[in-house]
Amino acid sequence: MFLVEIMDLIGTAAFAVSGVLVGIRNKLDLFGIFVLATITASGGGLIRDVIIKKGLPVFFTEPKYLITIVISTVIACVIVHFAYNFLNKIQTLIQIFDAIGLGVFTVLATYGSILAGVPIIGIVFTAVLTGVGGGVMRDIMANDVPLVFRSEIYALASIIGSLAFYFLYGVLDVTVNVYLCIFVVFAIRMVSMHFKLNLPIISIKDGAMGGTGYENKGYEEYNG
């Protein structure tokens, strides 16, 4: 389906750009930036294909994905290099491109799982893993706590988008459903970022960790 292929490439490009921005923020060299972009852009798709398809994942059989990553990486590097005013907004840009990738990969994984006859629990599970997988790999390789564990509402946005697509499948035209549910995931992420909406965090009193030095490590470190 042409729409699915186009949206898949858009999601790949968006995640690749988020990987590039993380690499630049962490002062990686060009090779490190490209590796981070590739892992981010391909990680979720690899998970999706392993779960719902037989044979090699499409990333290994169709060069268009790697070409998309290379082009996205080059363009992002050039823009950031010459547009210095972007640098003070790099974290926001990472989250915006990450949200686009999250929405696209969540919805396409849901659609693919439905076509493969996966039960609803498996559909949502696959969609969330596909949506967050590349970002988790990116953050771990960049020595960060993954965005999904420390950010505003993230995985929940993927779950809601997946369920929305599932229940609207057969009710709305597939094209409309795809665009709508991608927007739902993206909008939830943007609203949660703007209003700093989070799932509950377990609070620990000062000194409760026995002076290990980990009392305040985590959320504050990455959001200060």
Q: What is the pLDDT along the chain (224 residues), one digit of tens a residue?
A: 678 889 999 999 999 999 999 999 999 999 999 999 999 999 999 999 998 876 789 999 999 999 999 999 999 999 888 876 766 688 888 999 999 999 999 999 999 999 999 999 999 999 999 999 999 999 999 999 898 887 679 999 999 999 999 999 999 999 999 999 999 999 999 999 999 888 887 877 766 655 554 444 444 444 44
Report the helix count and the strand count for the chain, using DSSP H and E.
10, 0
Angle CA 44–45–48, to nearest 5: 90
Which domain does 89 fall in, by range? 2-223
pLDDT of residue 97: 94
- Whole-model pTM? 0.86
| Burial letters 136-151, b for 16+ CB under 10 A, else e | bbbbebbebebbbebb
User: Token pair of 30, please?
Assistant: 């060009």
Cβ pair 19, 113 in contact under 8 A: no
The conformation of residue 143, written as its DSSP 8-state character, comes to T
Q: Which long-range contacts (CB under 8 A, 24 or more apart) does 213-222 make?
A: 218/145, 218/150, 219/150, 221/145, 222/144, 222/145, 222/150
Give pLDDT, residue 55. 79
**Pairwise CA distance, residues 20 & 29, whole Å:** 11
pLDDT score at 87? 64
Number of domains the chain is built from:
1
Rg (CA), the chain: 18
If you search the block for the tokens 């852009």, which residue do you land on?
41
Q: Buried (b) or exposed (e) across 89-112, using 16+ Cβ within 10 A?
A: eeeebbbbbbbbbbbbbbbbbbbb
Inter-axis angle of helices 174-195 and 155-168, nearest 10: 160
Tokens read off for 187: 């909008």
